[in-house]
Amino acid sequence: RVILGLESSCDDTAAAVIRGTPGAAVILSSVVAGQADLHAPFGGVVPEIAARAHAEKLDGCVAQALAEAGLTLDRIDAVAVTAGPGLIGGVLSGVMCAKGIAAGAGLPLIGVNHLAGHALTPRLTDGADYPYLMLLVSGGHCQFLIVSGPDDFRRLGGTIDDAPGEAFDKTARLLALPQPGGPSVEAEAALGDPGRFPFPRPLLDRPGCDLSFSGLKTALLRTRDAVMQDGRLKRSDRVDLCAGFQAAVTEVLAEKTRRAIAEYLVSEPETPLLAVAGGVAANRPIRAALERVAQENGLAFLAPPLRLCTDNAAMIAYAGLERMAAGAVDDMTLVARPRWPLDRAAAPMIGSGK
């Protein structure tokens, strides 16, 4: 099967074409058009600007994805699109574009949960077998999931406030580093001393695998103000602040992952696997720490290549492929959902609700 995927839930407009079957798919093309330049003057993503930019860029991304795959629409078997969660204007732009393509070309339409796209990425990149333990760690989310099927996610725990990606972005803003914050903070942290500023490790004293990151930014702000002189921050202080912040995030993620692994292993999976996905999984020290935790516990470890950690449409096309293979196809009644939890217990309805 050949699937065209569309993604527009945040500030990346993306289109991709994949071919294959569940657990054995190849990416024929994956086009991502960022909008960082449009939002840069505002210090964060402006939803209205994002929605308009998606509407403008989607057609071009689709055309480019088809061209790079060397295919025309008549060779496509279905259109998959992110139907939520995310900024509603952007999601609507994508859903309307996908409906137009599906109606025009007479193709099945498949609504995909953006988080399922991230969570199924190890199946796309490495054909990972179910059930695996997924740490989904991104700009808006942080959760441990046992993934047992394309629509079978059990949430073990997650952040009770901010997502780590958001904390990286806020840290960058507080330290006058460019957005998105993750890569810029990671680069600065590599030059700093992680031990100089001991930032809090929230919730480590509590059982379970819930996490918290909001206290970290308050601590960072206070420490920054304490070391600033005449409103100026020295480079050496900035790299140490970044290193201390990143070390705290890394340690919390690593320890909570140990606890999630213990819960996951209760079900005695045949080939235990820890996989990570989402933008923060692009962070090299965090990946390395999680890989060590996996090894210590006898689990295999998978982290997608960096371009498949952050938002892309290949993961959406792949999640669509899995849903289609499971017989879950939508129609023109597909709606955009700003909120859409993955866990079945929290979200009994999928796609258009059928």
Site residues, ligand ATP (CB under 6 A): 10, 86, 114, 118, 138-141, 165-166, 168-169, 180-183, 186, 278-280, 282-283, 310-311
Q: What, of ligand ATP, Fe ion, none, does residue 168 touch, CB below 5 to 8 Å by kind?
A: ligand ATP
Burial 114-132 (b: 16+ CB within 10 A, else e): bbbbbbbbbbbbeebebbb
Nearer residue to ligand ATP within complex by CB, 150 or 158: 158
CA–CA gap between residue 150 and residue 273 (Å, rounded): 16
Q: How far is the CB of 118 from Fe ion (least distance, A)?
A: 6
d(CA 351, CA 6): 15
Strands 273-277 and 152-158: unpaired
Cβ-contact 135, 253 below 8 angstroms: yes
> Which residues contact Fe ion (rule: CB under 5 A)?
138, 311
- For the bound state, the minimum distance from the C-beta of residue 180 to Fe ion, rounded and expressed in Å, comes to 11
Using CB distances below 5 to 8 A depending on partner kind, what does residue 7 bind out of Fe ion, ligand ATP, none? none
Residue 157 interacts with which of ligand ATP, Fe ion, none, CB < 5 to 8 Å by class = none
Q: What is the strand order of the sheet 300-302 is part of? A: 152-158, 142-149, 132-137, 273-277, 300-302
Given the complex with Fe ion, which of 188 and 311 has the nearer CB atom?
A: 311
Any known ligand binding at 38?
A: no
237 contacts: CB under 8 Å, gap ≥ 6: 224, 227, 228
Q: Smallest distance from the beta carbon of 285 to ligand ATP, in angstroms?
A: 9
Instruction: Report CA-CA distances (Å) from 277 to 15, 59, 216, 286.
Output: 19, 27, 22, 12
Residue 311 annotated as binding site: yes
For the bound state, the minimum distance from the C-beta of residue 166 to ligand ATP, rounded and expressed in Å, comes to 6
Task: State the nearest-atom distance from the C-beta of 139 to ligand ATP, in Å.
Answer: 3
237 binds, among Fe ion, ligand ATP, none (CB under 5 to 8 A by kind): none
Residue 29 contacts which entry, Fe ion, ligand ATP, none (Cβ below 5-8 A, type-dependent): none
Are the C-beta atoms of 151 and 248 separated by less than 8 Å?
Answer: no
